[in-house]
Amino acid sequence: MDPARAVAVFGGTFNPVHYGHLRSAIELVEHLQLHHLDLMPCAQPVHREQPGCSAEHRAAMVELAVAGEPRLGCDRRELARGGLSYSYDSLVDIRQDIGPQRGLCLVMGCDALQNIASWHRWRELLDIAHVIVIARPGWTLPDEGVVAHWLQSHRCDAPAQLHRQASGLVHVEELRPLAISSTEIRSLLQLGQSVRYLLPEPVLDYIDQHGLYRQKESSA
C-alpha cells in the first residue's frame, strides 16, 4: 500500500448494488486519487427495516460487482460483527487496521448526510475519518441547522488535504448523476420488469439464480 494515499469506505445496504453506487465509487477513486475504495454492506441497518434480502446475498452481489476492478473491494466487517451496523464502530476497526497516519474517508450520499445527526456518535466520526459527500440527483446539501453548521466548520475544498491528514475534513464531490436507486430496482423486479443495464450483468444473474426480490418481501 502506498502510505501517502487515502483509502475510502462506502457504507450502505446495497439491496442490491447498482451502477449508481459503482460509478460513484470509481469516479471518487479517480477524482480524489484514492488508493482504493471498499463498499461495505451493513449487516443490520440502524435507521431502516431489516432488508428482506440477507446480508450474505447483498455482500455476494457487491463482490460480483467489483470483481475485476482492483481499486474497488467489498469490506465484510459489518457482516462478521453482526448486530446493528454502526459506521462509527466500523471506522474504529478500520483505523486499527490501517494505523493512525493514513487518510481514511467515509463516503455517503446527500440523502445519508441529511440524517447524520441521528447516527451513533456522529460528531466523533471526524476524529477517526474524513467524510466525503456525493451530490446525488434530487438531493441538496442542508443549508441550515446542526448538520449545515457541522458541514461548514469542517468543509475542505482541497482534496489533496484528504491525503495529508488522517481525519477531520468533510469534502463534497460532484459526480456524474445517475438517478438509479435500489428501491426502484426492487419495485421493477416485483412488477416482473427488466432491470438490465441498471446493474452489472453478474449481479442480475445472481438475482435470477437465487430468486431474489421477485416475490413481495422475499424471505431469502
What does the binding site for ligand ATP look like in residue numbers (CB under 6 A)? 12-15, 20-21, 24, 108-109, 111-112, 134, 136, 178, 180-183
Q: Which residue is nearest to ligand ATP (CB)?
A: 109
SS (H, E, C) the chain: CCCCCCEEEEEECCCCCCHHHHHHHHHHHHHHCCCEEEEEECCECCCCCCCCCCHHHHHHHHHHHHCCCCCEEECCHHHHHCCECCHHHHHHHHHHHHCCCCCEEEEEEHHHHHCHHHCCCHHHHHHHCEEEEECCCCCCCCCCCHHHHHHHHHECCCCCHHHHCCCCCEEEECCCCCCCCHHHHHHHHHCCCCCECCECHHHHHHHHHHCCCCCCCCCC
Nearer to ligand ATP, 6 or 22 (CB): 22
Residue 99 C-beta: closest distance to ligand ATP, Å: 26
CB of 97 to ligand ATP, least distance (A): 22
- For ligand ATP, the closer of residues 43 and 112 by Cβ is 112
Q: Are 165 and 128 in contact (CB under 8 A)?
A: no
CB of residue 178 vs ligand ATP: minimum separation in angstroms?
A: 5
Give the cell for residue 149: 453548521
Give the Cα separation of 77 and 85 in Å (integer): 10
* Nearest distance in Å: CB 199, ligand ATP: 10
Specify the residue, 101 or 183, whose C-beta has the smaller distance to ligand ATP. Answer: 183
Q: Which is nearer to ligand ATP, 7 or 134 (CB)?
A: 134
Q: How far is the CB of 3 from ligand ATP (least distance, A)?
A: 27
Minimal distance, residue 177 CB to ligand ATP, in Å: 7
The nearer residue to ligand ATP, 13 or 54, going by C-beta atoms, is 13
Q: Closer to ligand ATP at the Cβ: 47 or 160? A: 47
Side by side, the strands of the sheet bearing 7-12 are: 72-74, 36-41, 7-12, 104-109, 130-134, 170-173
Task: Give the nearer residue to ligand ATP in terms of CB position, either 24 or 167.
Answer: 24
Least distance to ligand ATP, CB of residue 54, Å? 15
